[in-house]
A = this chain, B = another copy of it.
Amino acid sequence: MQAIILSIGDELALGQTVDTNSAWLAARLAGLGIPTLKHETVADDLPALVQTLQQAADRADVVLVSGGLGPTPDDLTRDALAQAMGVELEEDPEALATLNRFFEDRGYPMPDRNRVQALFPAGGCTIPNARGTAPGLKVSLGRAQVFVTPGVPHEMKAMVHSSIEPELLAMIGDQGGGRPAILTRTIHSFGIGESDAAERLGTLMDRDRNPMVGTTVSRGFCSIRVRSEHADPAQAQRDLDDTTGLVEAQLGPLVFGRDQDQLATDLVSRLVAAGQSVATAESCTGGLLGGMIVDVPGSSAVYPGGWVTYSNALKQSQLGVDPALIDTHGAVSAPVVQAMAAGARERAGATLGISISGVAGPGGGTDDKPVGTVWFGLATPEGVFSHRAQLVGDRAAVRDRAAKCALQMLRFTVMGEDLKQIRWFARG
């Protein structure tokens, strides 16, 4: 059983929107042992859609389509599917009733244009949408079972979980198994480059190895992908676990999690376990660090809050930074981040205080402190420390990496690990 994933939309084909659905769908299929031949993105263009649907349905057993089910005139997937099948559209009275209820529940009458969302190609059926107005579609075409979901990611995901995955599992059962299981896992690290990671992983990355190991860098994270294939699912799982262990041993404390794990989530768990708490004092990141911590449900147990002291006046009035330090050393300096971290720790009554002050660019760089220079302050019960990093990229990248550096610094501090293992602090 093989799949093709199609994403439909002018905004995708023209590059005005990034397609995140295909990646999510491919990962779900891989989890079911169904390999994806390819992803294809096409515009809201009726003839092109009809042709793409027919070709995909000739090559794959499962075609997952997202997008083009909305109520507006640029939503053509429904019509394209009917044309590809050579049938008419019919109205599903139950879907229409659900649509009417959806609007009633929100206190609006249903706009007329939403009525098209109750249509489905004759011979197929609609799939209920628990999250929005557009039902999905299920039809047979060529050799394939075709499932169509709305393009809105949370509606698509809910529909896959509740309706499409159970059908795929049934299809796998009907085919009597025999396909090897493909299990994947991604191991996430922060603070190491891709080449250094590859050096450490060595022969684990040989292309003919099973499980196969690959690396990817994204937004500062170096992620190690493991793909295990075996006729016996239990053996595939054991192989996956073994290789995961070997990878994690090579990268040590730089690894913070797997798959959907977040750096901040692991930090919050470790702070909770250690009975610690942290207060933040941010300048160039402007609240990104606090935002990442609060992203974790339950973070209130370890995070009372923090300060965005973007102006020097607020650094002084709110965190007690001595103006003489700023005059002498500048706002991006060891003494100032130390005073910020100590001030935040004390005022919030936290066990740890962390601070960030840097030159995020595009302006403001000097020979001494070029764009990308970021100072981090850390206040602990043992004392107050500071570390300098030279980050690369544009303003958004420098600020993002700075916030993540601070999360990894805090994590290493709670773990009692040497910060010099983090690439940017290697010479600090």
Which residue numbers of A lie inside 8 Å of B, CB to CB? 9-20, 22-30, 36, 38-42, 44, 52, 70-74, 76, 111, 113-114, 133, 152, 154, 184, 186, 194-196, 198-199, 205-207, 212, 214-218, 223, 225, 227, 280, 282, 284-291, 293-295, 297, 299-300, 303-311, 313-314, 317-318, 347-349, 361-363, 393-397, 399
Query: What's the nearest-Cβ distance from chain B to residue A232, in Å?
Result: 21
- In the assembly, what is the distance between CA of A362 and CA of B309, in Å? 30
A sample of 30 cross-chain residue pairs with beta-carbon separation below 8 angstroms, ordered by A number, consists of A10-B227, A11-B214, A13-B38, A15-B24, A15-B30, A16-B184, A16-B223, A38-B40, A38-B52, A44-B214, A71-B194, A72-B205, A113-B198, A154-B394, A282-B287, A284-B294, A286-B294, A286-B303, A287-B306, A287-B308, A290-B290, A290-B308, A294-B308, A294-B399, A295-B395, A297-B363, A297-B395, A305-B308, A305-B309, A305-B318
Residue ID in chain B nearest A311 by CB atoms: B304
Contacts of A287 in B (CB 8 A): 280, 282, 286-291, 294, 306, 308
Given contacts A186-B16, A218-B17, A304-B313, contact A10 B225 (CB under 8 A): yes
The listed residue with most B CB atoms (<10 A of its CB), out of A133, A214, A223, is: A214
Do B294 and A300 touch across chains, with their CB atoms under 8 A apart?
A: no
- In the assembly, what is the distance between CA of A297 and CA of B360, in Å? 9
Main secondary structure of the interface of A (DSSP, over half): mixed
Contacts of A223 in B (CB 8 A): 11, 16-17
Contacts of A39 in B (CB 8 A): 12-13, 19, 39-41
Query: What's the nearest-Cβ distance from chain B to residue A200, in Å?
Result: 11
Query: What's the nearest-Cβ distance from chain B to residue A155, in Å?
Result: 10
Do A30 and B14 touch across chains, with their CB atoms under 8 A apart?
A: yes
> A291 is contacted by which of B24, B133, B195, B291 (Cβ under 8 Å)?
B291
Query: What's the nearest-Cβ distance from chain B to residue A24, in Å?
Result: 6
Residue ID in chain B nearest A195 by CB atoms: B111
Query: What's the nearest-Cβ distance from chain B to residue A40, in Å?
Result: 6
Closest 9 CB pairs of A and B: A286-B294, A287-B287, A287-B290, A15-B26, A15-B27, A304-B311, A39-B41, A74-B214, A288-B291
Query: What's the nearest-Cβ distance from chain B to residue A347, in Å?
Result: 7
Residue ID in chain B nearest A395 by CB atoms: B297
- Tallying the copies of this chain within the complex gives 2
Do A396 and B295 touch across chains, with their CB atoms under 8 A apart?
A: yes
- In the assembly, what is the distance between CA of A167 and CA of B195, in Å? 31
Given contacts A198-B71, A225-B10, A287-B291, contact A16 B216 (CB under 8 A): yes
Do A19 and B16 touch across chains, with their CB atoms under 8 A apart?
A: no
Do B227 and A11 touch across chains, with their CB atoms under 8 A apart?
A: no
Query: What's the nearest-Cβ distance from chain B to residue A78, in Å?
Result: 14
Do B314 and A348 touch across chains, with their CB atoms under 8 A apart?
A: yes
Do B16 and A27 touch across chains, with their CB atoms under 8 A apart?
A: yes
Query: What's the nearest-Cβ distance from chain B to residue A369, in Å?
Result: 16
Query: What's the nearest-Cβ distance from chain B to residue A388, in Å?
Result: 15
Residue ID in chain B nearest A286 by CB atoms: B294
Given contacts A154-B394, A313-B349, contact A28 B15 (CB under 8 A): yes
Contacts of A300 in B (CB 8 A): 310-311
- In the assembly, what is the distance between CA of A52 and CA of B399, in Å? 38
Do A305 and B295 touch across chains, with their CB atoms under 8 A apart?
A: no
- In the assembly, what is the distance between CA of A311 and CA of B20, in Å? 35
- In the assembly, what is the distance between CA of A193 and CA of B20, in Å? 21
- In the assembly, what is the distance between CA of A377 and CA of B119, in Å? 44
- In the assembly, what is the distance between CA of A3 and CA of B38, in Å? 18
Query: What's the nearest-Cβ distance from chain B to residue A219, in Å?
Result: 9
Do A307 and B310 touch across chains, with their CB atoms under 8 A apart?
A: no
> A303 is contacted by which of B184, B186, B216, B310 (Cβ under 8 Å)?
B310
Do B27 and A23 touch across chains, with their CB atoms under 8 A apart?
A: no
- In the assembly, what is the distance between CA of A154 and CA of B205, in Å? 25
- In the assembly, what is the distance between CA of A14 and CA of B72, in Å? 32
Query: What's the nearest-Cβ distance from chain B to residue A69, in Å?
Result: 12
Query: What's the nearest-Cβ distance from chain B to residue A278, in Å?
Result: 11
The listed residue with most B CB atoms (<10 A of its CB), out of A225, A299, A304, is: A304
Query: What's the nearest-Cβ distance from chain B to residue A269, in Å?
Result: 16
